[in-house]
């Protein structure tokens, strides 16, 4: 019964979703038909609100998949530059094709490879850099067991007023109810996601909002000295 109710809720929320444009609407439809991982419409709506309020100009995305969310950021923010990272070669090939066919490719820095290594390179490059060169918005949507590692690296290359958004923190509900074969298969991700959320909770210099919509979001803001 709960499964049916969840489907009805999703269909109801999806019915109110308004795509940025027809091209992205078609890309979403195509991705969903092929079961390609992409952000839920609820997540897209929240991201749309957040970036409309904060107007970031340098966005870091960890986890490109087929490029939908990177293109969403680029369409919503015509002056923004997006750096996006993808490790999976099949995903990367598909994303490259999507970017190549659109003018937004000029503002998308697509990095293919291990996120940990690429983030380390960015940390070295931006170490001591001016605030104007750092990222003011980060979207983490990659390997769930590495969220803390990704966050700690991103923190070093963010502006003091940056927002960090972590997707899929509920892991299909397994974060609170880890039952069934699928949950057992993902027990490592569940373990590390719980540890990551506890880590965020215990940091006094972070303001963290947990949302349960879609598959869960953590929205993180750094608390600076003048905001305490």
Q: Which domains occur in the chain, in start order?
A: 2-227 (3.40.50.150)
Predicted confidence at residue 173, as pLDDT, reads 80
Predicted confidence at residue 45, as pLDDT, reads 94
3-state SS, residue 123? helix
3-state SS, residue 109? strand
pTM for the whole thing?
0.92
Among 214, 172, 196, CA closest to 46: 214
Predicted confidence at residue 18, as pLDDT, reads 83
Helix or strand run (H / E) with residue 136: strand 135-140
Write out the chain's pLDDT in tens, 228 residues: 454 456 677 777 777 788 889 999 999 999 999 999 999 999 999 999 999 999 999 999 999 999 999 999 999 999 999 999 999 999 999 999 999 999 999 999 999 999 999 999 999 999 889 999 999 999 999 999 999 999 999 999 999 999 999 999 998 887 777 666 666 777 888 899 999 999 999 999 999 999 998 899 999 999 976 554
Identify the bridge partners of residue 163 per DSSP, sorted by sequence position. Answer: 137, 221
Do 45 and 17 meet the contact criterion of CB atoms below 8 Å apart? yes
Predicted confidence at residue 179, as pLDDT, reads 64
DSSP line for 30-75: HHHHTT-----HHHHHHHHHHHHHH--SEEEEE--TTSHHHHHHHH
How many other C-beta atoms lie within 10 A of the C-beta of residue 29? 11
206-211/217-222 β-pairing: antiparallel
3-state SS, residue 159? strand
Among 153, 148, 157, CA closest to 197: 148
């Amino acid at each position: 019964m709960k499964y049916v109710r969840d489907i009805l809720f999703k269909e109801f929320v999806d019915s109110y979703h308004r795509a940025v444009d027809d091209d992205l609407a078609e890309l979403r439809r195509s991705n969903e038909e092929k079961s390609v991982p992409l952000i839920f419409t609820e997540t897209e709506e929240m991201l749309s609100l957040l970036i409309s309020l904060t107007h970031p100009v340098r966005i870091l995305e960890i986890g490109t998949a087929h490029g939908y969310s990177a293109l969403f950021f680029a369409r919503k923010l015509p002056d923004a530059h997006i750096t996006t990272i993808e490790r999976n070669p099949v995903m990367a090939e598909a994303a490259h094709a999507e970017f190549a066919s659109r003018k937004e490719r000029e503002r998308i820095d697509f990095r293919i490879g291990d996120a940990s290594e690429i983030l380390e390179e960015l940390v070295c490059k931006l170490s001591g850099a001016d605030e104007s060169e750092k990222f003011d918005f980060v979207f983490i949507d990659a390997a769930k067991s590495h969220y803390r590692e990704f966050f700690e690296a991103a923190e070093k290359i963010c502006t003091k007023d940056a927002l960090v958004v972590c997707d899929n923190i509920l892991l299909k509900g397994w974060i609170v109810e880890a039952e069934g074969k699928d949950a057992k298969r993902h027990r490592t991700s569940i373990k590390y996601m719980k540890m990551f959320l506890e880590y965020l909770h215990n940091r006094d210099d972070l303001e963290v909002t947990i949302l349960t919509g879609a598959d869960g979001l953590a929205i993180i803001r750094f608390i600076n000295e003048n905001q305490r």
